[in-house]
Amino acid sequence: MALGPVQILVVGFGDAEFKGTIRAELERLREADVVRLIDMVAVRKDSEGNVERLQQSDMSSDELQEFGAIVGALIGFGAAGEEGAELGAEAGAEAMEDGAVFDESQMWYVDEAIPPGTAAAIALLEHRWAIPLRDAIREQGGFHIADAWIHPVDLIAIGAASAAELGIEEGAGAA
């Protein structure tokens, strides 16, 4: 199994009513082999505090077990070398036997964290688009040094820090 970079994404929604647009976009991205949803749990709490959950994955049970084995082997290797990799692969595959990364019995903290009338989702997304790029880099002898996501709020923070260093007041702009 070729596995692309995996991102954990946690999002909240002020309106607990989903309209299907997110699911449709995830489907479009999956069909284009841009991303694959390893696991996702969406939690909605109505105004009276009743909780409803939806869990979804694009992976079959066998694929989830293979994913678990890969993740377990990597963690095991980091902990105890090759012997740890073998034990970790077995433990990781076993952990995925129930067909989900996010165990519903462990999701109680999401239920507690979101206020009534809101929703939240936790997703593990595999970035499939990056696999050929990663392979091409490796074929040229390249290796990973660092990576990071830069969000708009990060750029705003950079601007605010720069303004503070230069003594520019908020809203004054540069002349």
Q: What is the pLDDT of residues 135-171, one digit of tens each?
A: 999 999 999 999 998 999 989 999 899 888 888 876 6
User: d(Cα 115, Cα 41) in Å, to the nearest integer?
Assistant: 17
3-state SS, residue 128: coil
User: d(Cα 14, Cα 16) in Å, to the nearest integer?
Assistant: 6
**Neighbouring residues of 117: CB distance < 8 A, sequence distance ≥ 6:** 14, 15, 16, 45, 46, 47
pLDDT score at 45: 93
pTM of the prediction?
0.83
pLDDT score at 174: 52
Q: Which ranges of the chain have pLDDT less than 50?
A: 175
Task: Select from 117, 111, 120, 71 the least CA-distant residue to 92.
Answer: 71
Average pLDDT of the chain, as a whole number: 90
